């Protein structure tokens, strides 16, 4: 079955009867205060993506991620596109072990491609069983983290036995201390990075694979030409070089996270994990909390396999903060 995702306001409207324009959507981990889109030349919309612009985007991304060579940076039209392409670049006899609970698209896409896929609770089990080990770091939705030195050692061991380690760093922008992107090129390691979450521009569909060696070339061949549109390239290269915005945004997100933690805890939810873009909460009646918030036009992210947990993102406005607080104050379970 297809994976359930947050951000589906059409389905939420159908379920709760709240008009789309009245929702406070806290169901995603996307920065609610996006990078300000620069003025774009009109011809960016009317011609095929420029290869010089693509190269400049790769160089800007390499600098931002700390990668020593732009050739190790492969832009894609969102990491979701990559997740659907990547499994087809490996033999279908691979045992793929994914440390979970985590983002379900990994298991779904590798399974569709015919691999032996299993989500396991421990990194040690994933290593023992898997030809390919997939780790989301920091994890979505729990926020669990793995230190770079541990993952690098794991990548080396995977390579020694003919395997690979794939690290999904979609939320790594929030935690630069655990970023291992600069080590891309080490044998057995591939890193996936998302642009839209931290920069708040998920709609332009921009992501990156950081990889070297033969798998890098297979990826480039598999993705093909013009994988990223020209406007996305221009926005991306500007954003990556805006150090002032990046540093201030990290500070602002941390402040917002602390504010959200206080609000949620005062409302009876236990914050047990997450990142500065979302919080992972426990409540014995989380399903009822989801329902009551939904009836009030506040969408959060429930989990069928974790029924006592919710993922809750950051409100975009003071009105959203106020509505969340007032609604939580009224919930009595």
- Write the pLDDT tens digit of every residue in 99-120: 999 999 999 999 999 999 999 9
Compute the average pLDDT of residues 266-281: 97
Model pTM score = 0.96
Tell me which residue has tokens 């008009």. Answer: 19
Query: DSSP assignment, residue 71?
Result: G
Q: What is the pLDDT averaged over residues 215-228?
A: 88
Every domain of the chain with CATH number 3.90.1150.10 lies at 9-34+244-330
For the chain, residues classed under CATH 3.40.640.10 are: 66-228
Instruction: Report whether pLDDT(125) > 90.
Output: yes
What does the pLDDT look like over 42-74, one tens digit per residue?
999 999 998 999 999 999 999 999 999 999 999
**What pLDDT, on the 0 to 100 scale, is given for residue 214?**
85
110 CB contacts (<8 Å, ≥6 apart)? 87, 96, 98, 117, 132, 134
Q: What is the dihedral of CA 254, 104, 216, 31, to 10 degrees?
A: -30
Average pLDDT estimate for 32-44: 95
User: Which one is the CATH code of 66-228: 3.30.70.100, 1.20.120.140, 3.40.50.11900, 3.40.640.10?
Assistant: 3.40.640.10
| Lowest-pLDDT choice from 39-53, 157-171, 250-264 | 39-53
Contact criterion met (CB below 8 Å) for 208 and 193: yes
Q: Look up the CATH architecture of domain 9-34+244-330.
A: Alpha-Beta Complex (3.90)
What does the pLDDT read at residue 230? 96
- Residue pair 157/127 in contact (Cβ under 8 Å)? The answer is yes
pLDDT at 92: 79
Q: Quick one: pLDDT at residue 1?
A: 54
């Amino acid at each position: 079955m297809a994976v359930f995702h947050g951000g589906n306001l059409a389905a939420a409207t159908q379920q709760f009867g709240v008009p789309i324009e009245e929702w406070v959507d806290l169901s995603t981990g996307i920065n609610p205060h996006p990078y300000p889109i620069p003025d774009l030349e009109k011809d960016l919309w009317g011609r095929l993506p420029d290869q010089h612009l693509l190269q400049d985007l790769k160089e800007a991304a390499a600098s931002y991620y700390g990668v020593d060579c732009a050739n190790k940076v492969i832009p894609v039209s969102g990491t979701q596109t990559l997740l659907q392409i990547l499994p087809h670049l490996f033999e279908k006899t691979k045992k793929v072990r994914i440390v979970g609970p985590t983002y379900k698209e990994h298991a779904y896409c590798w399974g569709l491609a015919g691999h032996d896929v299993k989500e396991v609770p421990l990194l040690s089990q994933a290593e023992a069983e898997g030809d390919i080990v997939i780790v989301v770091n920091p994890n979505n939705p729990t926020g669990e983290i793995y230190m770079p030195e541990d993952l690098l050692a794991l990548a080396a061991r995977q390579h020694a036995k003919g395997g690979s380690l794939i690290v999904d760093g979609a939320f790594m922008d929030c935690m630069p201390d655990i970023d291992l992107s600069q080590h891309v090129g080490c044998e057995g390691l591939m890193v996936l990075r998302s642009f839209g979450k931290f920069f708040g521009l998920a709609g332009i569909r921009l992501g990156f694979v950081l990889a070297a060696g033969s798998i890098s070339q297979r990826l480039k061949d598999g993705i093909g030409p013009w994988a990223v549109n020209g406007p996305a390239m221009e926005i991306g290269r500007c954003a990556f070089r805006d150090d002032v915005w990046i540093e201030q945004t990290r500070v602002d997100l941390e402040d917002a996270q602390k504010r959200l933690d206080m609000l949620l805890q005062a409302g009876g939810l236990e914050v047990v994990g997450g990142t500065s873009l979302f919080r992972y909460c426990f409540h014995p009646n989380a399903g009822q909390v989801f329902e009551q918030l939904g009836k009030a036009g506040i969408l959060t992210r429930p989990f069928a396999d974790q029924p006592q947990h919710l993922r809750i993102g950051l409100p975009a406005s003071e009105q959203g903060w106020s509505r969340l607080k007032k609604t939580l104050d009224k919930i009595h379970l």
